[in-house]
A and B are shown apart, each in its own frame.
Chain A
Amino acid sequence: MNFLSIPVLIFSPLIVALLILSPFFPNNEIKIRRFSKAFAILHFIYSTLFLLFFNPTNFGWSYQKELTFFNVSWLKTLGITATFGMDGLSLVFVILTSFLVMLAIIASKSMIRTKHRIYYPLILILQSALLGVFCAKDVFLFFLFWELELIPMYFLISQWGDRDSSAAMKYVVYTFFGSMLMLLGMLVLYFYSFSISGVLTADIESLSMSENVFAMWFQAFIFLCLLFGFAVKLPIVPFHNWLAEAQVSSVTPVSILMAGVLLKMGGYGIIRFNIGLFPEVFSNFAPLLIILGVVNLLYGACLAIVQTDIKKIVAYFSLSSMGLVLVGLGSLSEAGFEGAVFQMVSHGLIASGLLMLVGIIYLRTKTREISALGGLSQVMPICMYLGLIICLGAIGVPLFSGFPAGFMVLVGLLLSDIEPQAFLVCMIVLCVLGAVLSAGYILRLFHKTFFGSVLSQFRADTVQIDEDGNEITVVYPKRGITKSEIVVLSLLAFAIIFFGVFPNSVLDIFEVTSDIILDFMKV
């Protein structure tokens, strides 16, 4: 039990990244790839070990560990301690993160051809930043890791995606703008709690104790600042513009990480800060959150229907399923809350699956235009079957991971004690309308790419620019997709079916945490 320590979990990817970057690591492409893949798999196993020894019933944060290394004197006086902790909620996201990073690294075998020496360390730094966000127990530590992920993300999007697009810059500016407001909220909270309770502390738990003394409008102000910061990351409609472009202009493994994990940071932030610290304000703002969620859901669905670029369809699919998360969070009931968290997990898997499919198709046909695609099932039948499983999961068919989330959110919406019952019922009808639309555009995506007799410009071999500029032709095996892609797709399909058939396996982990947060709300 004692060999499980969070700092090791978080900083090991960082150390390995530095190792790969360091001069005495052989600069040979295959060695780097193999080494980082092995490390990612080890890291995933290590994170699942956390799951085995985690007893969900214990109250509050388990695996608490304080890193004394950083406790410089001025930090101590400011009350900022580098403490990491993990409860049910963050454990789920930690495992999801390391799972998706492992898949991204396996998938980037055929997708990445240039600058390996920089690519894999960047991915590992991104991983440690994400893990840090989910395990930080200190407000400013949370913010530190929140900003840290911007740097690798910017380079990953711009260097390996299509160069000239301004998407990377737009992504950084949007997120930075959001996080500045978030920092404002944190600082105001931090100093005001100091002025009230006299002790200067940035620990989330102690902050939550002291804040209920503030004036209501003051709490609302901090609440909105924090909400705005997370709204940019979990794309809520007015601030979602960066998502489509960033997804389109980034290479597949990077967009898998972006859709799979980065969107969850926003959701996790809302749960940890907005609900954790300001329960009364949250219950006043809950109807607003529900409306925002439904708008997100329908707006994403409507946009996805008319897109011609398949990757944009997946991007707007992510937008619309994040809307469902918002509705779940806004519904204030335990079912809704757990439905929202389950939806985040299942969306992580499904969006990665869809993006993987789009990546494979793009690699073979070099085009993402939906009108130019078709008939790929004749060339890669295995990819079609796995794609079918992932698309059915995306639609929310029962016994796949999409359905339990949707069902729990809907029931949670009704069980929430927001007075106008009619408002809840019409919100349910709109959510359900979103589910129908999702069936529409996901099937359109699946049919337009796989079915049909005419074979699009499928090329058995693709010409790709290698490290030092010479063109190499990569011949794909007869069955259409390489081994690494099959591994990724089948792992994702298995996870989607597993969580669909046994949703309790995920629900039990964060059941206690959601009870704590909701009881705190009821008080």
Chain B
Amino acid sequence: MNAVLTTISEYFVQSIATVLFLPLWVVLMIFINSSIPFLASKKMTLNLTLGSSFLGFVFAVFSLFYCIKNPQALVENNITWMSTDFQISFGVFVDNLSALMLVFTSLICFVVQLFSFGYMKKDESFHRFYIYLNLFMFCIFGFILASNVIQSYVFLELVGVITYLLIGFWYKKRSATRAARKAFIINRIGDVCLLIGIVVLVYFSVVFNSAQNMVTLSYSTLQFAVETLYSMVSDNAYLAIGVLIFLGIMAKTAQIPMQNWIVGTIEAPAPATALMNSFGIVAVGVYLCARFYPLFILSKSLMIFITFIGIVTALIGAYVAMSQNDLRKILAYSTSSQLGVVLVGFGVGAFSASIFCFVVHGVTKALMFLVGGALITSLKNEADIRYMGACREKLPLYAFSFFIGAISLCGALFSGFYSEASLFNSVLDFGNEFLSFGFLLFVFMSAFYLFRAYFLIFEGDKKDDISQDFSEWTIKCSIVLLSLIVIFIGYILRGCFGDFIFFISPDKLNYLNLVQNVLLLFVVFGAGFIAYQLYMAQNKTYIILKEKALNKSNLPYKLSYNAFYFDKVSDWFAESLFLRLCRFFDFIEKYVIGGIFVVLALTTRVFSYIFSRSQTGNVQSYVTYSLIVLSGVLAVVAVLYILGSLMGV
């Protein structure tokens, strides 16, 4: 049995590329299917898409199995894409990390596609949505299986494009198209910084080891290339390259200066938002950080920079999420803050812990977004949690799955506990007091807003306008499947993260430190208790506290609600500074450079006017002019003659 399994997994790993091109083929099929007016059956599109994602999942599991079987084996085959004086090639690269990511991404894609069948059934551009989902799968698989840095950059941008398409799916909504454009441009800024970093890396790789056959910057030799780079280049130049590359990752994972696009993803249809916030564009950022980890680990100051950015984003994201009223906005800001924590994990050096935390976060966030989406549609598109209430009686499944997600996300129970605990331990081991205190504050705040959301939506007073249950078997079954995953994945995977996904040497995932776990649980349930008092029990002291804290005028609340006014600042900069400069250029263009041409035309006209004036028509004036000329000539001749004769020529 074992031998059969290895041969099958051997075969699957070698032909992993089919996973990549299957979605493209499915897109073609859907396009043909949907363009035939009468035959366009939605069922057929769903089956095709589910088939492609399920096949992807099967391939992923087998490749994971293959990687477990022979750990150090790296499968890699490349074809040359572009060749000037250096060669750029595309290829497939399977190692532990990419196999695991592939498993989870295909799993989540499968669940989301299942969910969106029910969700988008009534929408008139159903086929277009599935085409986008398949394209998304193509790009994300291409990115995960990328064999070298340039290929990952190519697919990274493609994921950005597909996110732009998904966010702007309902192009009639002006807010959706504007959010899509903002998301694309901010991602583009990040990609462009990454591009500069990559170009510098390509330059060094071409200059230093210009072995023609070696594929430039392939991941297998990245470790060696980075070491030579570190020895070659001065420290701050190395830091500059590292920061440039990290800027790209910051944009993708919505870190602090570039995080206001993540709120825009809520404009997309709910399944698309779920996909994006779990294993979509944010996953691209974290996976890239994991791939470039050998480069980051070498420079101390870079790691500090990553930790700093991570913890600041986590705190700000959580703080802002606390006061949001729109359910999807809360979840979006929580994505930004959770990813901040993941980057803290990277910065601290806990490579496997942060990957574990990211995977768990991805699964739970997907579950919560799907539940949120289904909830909002069942409440007739009412997204504001203040007007929801007592949905537990009407929608027990959603209530229960939302609760599982919330508990797991804030690290109390199920898989969230494992990841949060391991991350907390590694942060404490790091030893920096501010960092650990910040981490605890983050845990407190995230627990607070999650419980707040749960209590406001599902408990509290009755709201009558809940429509009948949004009973669609695909939605129900996908939510149940995802809840089960959220419950058990932590327990299953906790073992493999220590010795399967590791950076250099297998570091055991320590989450068994009792004292630290108790502290963590204490903080989480403390936050839950406060939330309960504030929003559920009619306790007088807390009500007064709530009035004071939450009245709209005071500064902390305003800061939190408007997400530190990032949008206004960036719009002000774009509008007043940059556009004014461009209008100034436009002015120059029209009047200065254009003016030269007009001036030229005018001068010629003026001269022609002057000359025409001189023709007076009076015969006698002509004669005088001719006489003047004649006398001039004769005078000159005479003078010359005299000079000549004087000089004795």
Tell me the A residues contacting B by CB distance below 8 Å.
170, 173, 238, 240-241, 244, 299, 302-303, 305-307, 333-335, 338-339, 375, 377-378, 388, 392, 395, 397-399, 403-404, 407-408, 410-412, 414-415, 425, 428-429, 432-433, 435-436, 439-440, 443-444, 447, 450-453, 503-504, 507, 511
Contact = CB atoms under 8 A, between A and B. Distances in A.
Nearest to A334: B85
B579 A415 contact: no
Interface stretch (B184-192, B348-356, B511-519): B184-192
Given A303-B589, A397-B158, A436-B185, A411 B581 contact: no
A238 B86 CA distance: 35
Given A241-B594, A408-B84, A428 B172 contact: no
A377 B203 contact: no
Interface on chain A toward B: helix, strand, loop, or mixed SS? helix
A338 B84 CA distance: 7
A415 B582 contact: no
B171 interface: yes
A415 B581 contact: no
Q: Which of A412, A439, A447 has most chain B Cβ within 10 Å? A: A439
B174 A397 contact: no
Contacts of B168: 451
B199 A299 contact: no
A447 B181 contact: yes
Nearest to A170: B597
Interface string B124-160: 0000000000000000000000000010011101101
Interface string B570-588: 0000000011011101100
Contacts of A307: 586
Nearest to A377: B171
B82 interface: yes
Contacts of A443: 181, 184-185
B171 A439 contact: no
Interface string B162-189: 0001001001111001100100110011
B474 to A, nearest CB: 27
A124 to B, nearest CB: 31
A222 B596 CA distance: 26
A403 B177 contact: no
Contacts of B585: 299, 302-303, 306
Contacts of A452: 171-172, 174, 177
24 contacts: A170-B597, A241-B589, A302-B585, A303-B586, A305-B578, A305-B582, A335-B86, A339-B84, A377-B171, A397-B161, A398-B153, A398-B155, A399-B154, A399-B158, A408-B84, A411-B84, A411-B202, A415-B207, A432-B193, A432-B196, A435-B188, A439-B188, A443-B185, A507-B82
B84 A507 contact: yes
B83 interface: yes
Given A451-B177, A452-B177, A414 B185 contact: no
B172 A415 contact: no
Given A333-B85, A411-B84, 15 more contacts: A241-B594, A241-B596, A244-B589, A303-B589, A306-B583, A306-B585, A398-B153, A410-B199, A411-B199, A415-B203, A415-B206, A428-B196, A433-B192, A443-B184, A507-B84
Nearest to A374: B174
Given A397-B157, A414-B203, A450 B586 contact: no
B200 interface: yes
B593 interface: yes
B81 interface: yes
Contacts of A408: 82, 84
B138 to A, nearest CB: 10
B367 to A, nearest CB: 32
Given A397-B157, A398-B157, A411-B199, A335 B84 contact: yes
